[in-house]
């Protein structure tokens, strides 16, 4: 086997492995980004609710210093309760935050073998599987061309197609996840 044949075999093996590694890295990065944005939204909601509660307490204390009728006191009490309920609603709307279990990287998630909610994401996932199969067949073709005696120009084009298919496969994977994420908070 010649040196360029060894290089072609290496490329045929490295490209799918590299595609999987890049996909795994992207899943981990996306999880981290989603987690950080969720924590940030929750922290912002807590800060807003805290400011609203502080204002309601100060307003209530100031209202108690001003003499008024019993009807005015009931109205002030109702307003304060409403503000406190709004602050509580802010925190509840922010979601569970850090109480959610972390999603772990798994082959199931990496290969999109979980349920999607949107039809468009399901269609894109079918394209991802088709490109994944095409990439596997192309890898076998590169190995076949490299191990045969007539490597030549066919080998260069086979490697080019393999790299192109890997890029399209990764793009479809990212697109499917983002299309399904539109539905999820």
Domain ranges of the chain: 3-181
pLDDT at position 123, please? 93
Min mean pLDDT across 7-16, 63-72, 92-101 is at 92-101
Q: How confident is the model at residue 185 (pLDDT cuts 50, 70, 90)?
A: very low
Q: Could you tell me which residue, 123 or 147, shows the higher pLDDT?
A: 123
pLDDT at position 157, please? 80
pTM: 0.54
What are the helix (H) ranges across 66-118? 70-93, 107-110
Nearest to 110 by CA among 25, 36, 38, 17: 25
């Amino acid at each position: 086997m010649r040196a360029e044949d060894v290089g072609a075999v290496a490329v045929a093996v490295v490209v799918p492995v590299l595609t999987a590694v890049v996909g795994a890295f992207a899943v981990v990065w996306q999880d981290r980004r989603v987690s950080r944005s969720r924590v940030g939204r929750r922290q912002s909601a807590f800060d807003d609710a805290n400011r609203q509660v502080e204002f309601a307490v100060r307003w209530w204390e100031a209202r108690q210093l001003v003499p008024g009728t019993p009807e005015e006191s009931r109205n002030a009490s109702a307003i304060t309760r409403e503000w406190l309920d709004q602050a509580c609603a802010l925190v509840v709307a922010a979601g569970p935050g850090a109480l959610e279990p972390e999603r772990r990287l798994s082959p199931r998630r990496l290969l999109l073998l979980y349920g999607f909610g949107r039809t468009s994401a399901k269609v894109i996932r079918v394209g991802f599987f088709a490109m994944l199969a095409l990439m596997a067949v192309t890898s076998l073709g590169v190995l076949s061309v490299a191990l045969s005696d007539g490597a030549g120009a066919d080998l260069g084009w086979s490697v080019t197609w393999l790299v192109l298919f890997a890029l399209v496969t990764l793009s479809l994977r990212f697109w499917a996840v983002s299309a399904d994420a539109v539905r999820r908070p």
